[in-house]
Structure 1
Amino acid sequence: MELSNQALPLEGVRLLLVDDQVDITKIVTWILEDAGAEVVAVHSAEEALRAVEGFLPDILISDICLPDMNGHLLLQHLRERIGTLQLGPTQDIPAIALSGYSNPSLDNGSSQGAVASFQKYLAKPFELEELVRSVAELSQAQSGVQLVS
């Protein structure tokens, strides 16, 4: 992905990436940082809950099938934790779900309400450009900036 001749699409965006697969977190972190984002990558729900005590993300990117908690429950707990710590509005943190399932309804523990709590859903394997584009869209929607094509 060549970004050197373009404005960095994710400049200043703070991301919390949660995936138990180390290779995925390394590659995704590298791509997102190359696009200008600040990324904190962790490998479990427990680590994610601890991370928000010192890092308020603009967007959460989380695998759905984590070893210690599913991604839907993690998102709920993160929003509650952020509200409890009074770090920011709890419902304003958009989230992107990552999953090995191509259909969100097949994820363990998911329901229509749980799937709806994520603004975007990317099935693994996903295109890295699609992830950068999804993060940029959520960030711009959150800040009220419109994409110009």
Structure 2
Amino acid sequence: MACILLAEDDENLRPFLARSLENAGHEVLAFSDGEDALPAIGGGQVDLLISDLVMPGMNGIELARHAREKIPGLPVIFITGFSAVALEAMETVAGISKVLSKPFHLNSLVEAVNAALMDKAAS
């Protein structure tokens, strides 16, 4: 079981994603934005970050940069409805495991999580 930090500002989507990841056997720490999520990274217990790219306050790119400073090698999965922002994320943040464009199937998220965790374990 992995500890997943989830940052998603959509009040309807966040609990749905958290529940789906919990049903897949993971512990989920869910937050509505990057600023709220950032302190959870400080404990070092996070195995994976899943973040929306576009959020008020600290966006997903900024959150990922801070997270990877505190936990080098932390796998990051971005979710977004904005393909142009997704391309920027892939170019500007090292170590991105996957970018999922909304809407996506929950199986795609679980597969991306499993692949990212397997890659982390292999390195």
**TM-score, normalisation: structure 2:** 0.89
* Aligned match for 2:13, one of 2, 20, 24: 24
More strand per residue: 2
Q: Which runs of 4+ in 1 moved over 6 A?
A: none
Change beyond 3 A, Cα 1:141–1:111 = closer
Partner of 1:94: 75
Structure 2, gaps ≥5 residues long: none
User: Structure 1 residue 129 and structure 2 residue 118: aligned?
Assistant: no
State how far apart, in whole Å, the 2-side matches of 1:27 and 1:71 are. 19
Percent of pairs identical after alignment?
34
Change beyond 3 A, Cα 1:96–1:24 = same
User: Structure 1 residue 119 and structure 2 residue 108: aligned?
Assistant: no
Larger radius of gyration: 1
**TM-score, normalisation: structure 1:** 0.75
Change beyond 3 A, Cα 1:21–1:46 = same
How far off is 1:108 after superposition? 8.4
Change beyond 3 A, Cα 1:60–1:16 = same
User: Structure 1 residue 110 and structure 2 residue 88: aligned?
Assistant: yes
Q: How many residues align?
A: 123
